[in-house]
Amino acid sequence: MAKIRLRPVLETDIPILFQQQLDTEAAAMSAYPSKDRGEFMRHWEGILKNKNVTARAIIYKEKMAGHILCWKEGKYEQRVGYWIGREFWSRGIASAAVAELLAQVKIRPLVAEVANHNIASKRVLEKNGFELLDEGTKISIFKLK
């Protein structure tokens, strides 16, 4: 597995995160349309202020490879999501980041939503013990008990 570390996301990371989410292949893979700069900045200001969100930068070889989030959705559900910059794909970074987050955040169950065509993300979850809970027409729900 890739050697990574997690640290809190800082405001100075946001321009890198913005570039990473502009990538059209990544946006298609995740089924999250890219946000424009203003929308993206507002989105992250909200995340960084929200005490119900754990936001971590994924550091690989001293570079910011992406981010991982864990947040409360609705009254009870705890969710996880992640994004890796395209130049860092296929090095085991997402798999290692989820493993590290699971070591740091002990809340269970955890839920993740994945576009059905996102094979890589499904593998990341399965390798970390998540199980398929529900397969919809476009989105699958995975759960770690």
Work out which of 10, 107, 120, 139 binds ligand COA, going by CB under 6 A.
120
Triad 141, 144, 145: Cα angle to 5°: 120
- Of the listed pieces 4-12, 38-46, 116-124, 135-143, which binds ligand COA according to CB under 6 A? 116-124
List for the chain the helix, strand, coil content (%; round to 5).
40, 35, 30
DSSP reduced 3-state for 43: helix
Residues 26-65 that bind ligand COA (CB under 6 A): 26, 29-30
**CB burial of residue 38 (10 Å; 0-12, 13-18, 19+):** exposed
CA–CA gap between residue 58 and residue 116 (Å, rounded)? 25
- Of the listed pieces 7-15, 43-51, 68-76, 80-88, which binds ligand COA according to CB under 6 A? 80-88
Q: Indicate the residue among 51 and 79 with the shorter CB distance to ligand COA.
A: 79
Closest contact distance (angstroms) between CB of 7 and ligand COA is 17
Phi and psi at residue 9, to the nearest 5°: -75, 135
Binding status of residue 82 toward ligand COA by CB under 6 A: yes
Binding status of residue 94 toward ligand COA by CB under 6 A: yes
Binding status of residue 114 toward ligand COA by CB under 6 A: yes
CA–CA gap between residue 89 and residue 123 (Å, rounded)? 13
- Residue ranges in contact with ligand COA by CB under 6 A: 26, 29-30, 81-84, 89-95, 114, 118-121, 123-124, 127
